[in-house]
Chain A
Amino acid sequence: MDRIILGDNQFFGINHMSEEKAQALSEKFYDLKAIINVIDAAYDCGIRAFMLNTNERAKDICSYLRKNSARYADLRLYPSIPYPHKYADLVNEKGIFNAVKDIIISENSAKDIFGLLVKGSFTLFDRDSIKVMQLLIDTEMKIFHGLNIKVVFLQNVITDLLLGLGVKEIFIGYVNYIREKYSAEPGFITMNLPKLCNFLLDCGIENPIICSSINKIGYFMNPDISSYEKTIREKQFRPVAMSIFASGAIKPSEAVEYIHNLSNIKTIVFGASSGQHIKETKKLIESYLPVEDKKFQHV
Chain B
Amino acid sequence: MLKAGFIGMGRMGITHFSILNAHPSVKTVAICDQSKTILNFFKKYVGVNTFSDYDKMIQESGLDFVVISTPTDSHAEIIKAAIANNLHIFVEKPLATSSVQGNEILRLLNGRSLVNQVGYVNRFNEVFMQVKQLLDEGLIGEIKNFTFEMFGCTVSKDSKSSWRSNRNLGGGCMYEFASHCIDLVVYLIGQPNKVIGNVLQSIFSSDVEDLVSSTFIYDNRCVGNILVNWSELSYRKPTNRIEICGKKGKIVADKHAYKVFLKESDESHTFHTGWNTRYITDCAEGVHFYVRGNEFSRQLSYFVDFIEKKRANNTSNFAEALKTDIVMEEIFNNCMEIKK
Q: Interface of A with B (CB < 8 Å)? A: 13-14, 16-19, 22, 26, 85, 88-89, 91-97, 123, 125-126, 129, 157, 160-167, 169-170, 191-192, 195, 217-225, 246-247, 249
Contacts and interface: CB of A to CB of B under 8 A. Distances in A.
Interface string B13-41: 01101110110000000000001111011
Contacts of A223: 286-289
A223 to B, nearest CB: 5
A266 to B, nearest CB: 24
Contacts of B41: 97, 125-126, 129
B325 interface: no
Interface residues of B, number: 48
A89 B156 CA distance: 8
Contacts of A247: 279, 281
B144 interface: no
Interface string B251-285: 00011110000000000000000000001111010
A223 B286 CA distance: 5
Contacts of B292: 157, 160-161
A23 to B, nearest CB: 8
Nearest to A243: B281
User: Main SS of chain A's interface residues?
Assistant: helix
Contact of B257 (A18, A96, A221): A18
Nearest to B297: A222
Contacts of A17: 256-257, 279-281
B239 interface: yes
A246 B287 contact: no
A161 B289 CA distance: 10
Contact of A165 (B18, B255, B256): B18
Given A19-B239, A125-B40, 13 more contacts: A14-B236, A95-B35, A96-B10, A97-B35, A97-B37, A129-B41, A129-B44, A160-B290, A161-B14, A170-B45, A217-B281, A222-B294, A249-B279
B286 A218 contact: yes
Given A17-B257, A18-B279, A126-B40, A91 B11 contact: yes
Contacts of B255: 19
A249 B286 contact: no
Interface in B107-162: 153-156, 159, 161-162
16 contacts: A16-B256, A19-B257, A89-B155, A93-B159, A94-B161, A96-B11, A97-B35, A160-B290, A161-B292, A164-B17, A164-B19, A165-B14, A192-B290, A222-B286, A247-B279, A249-B281
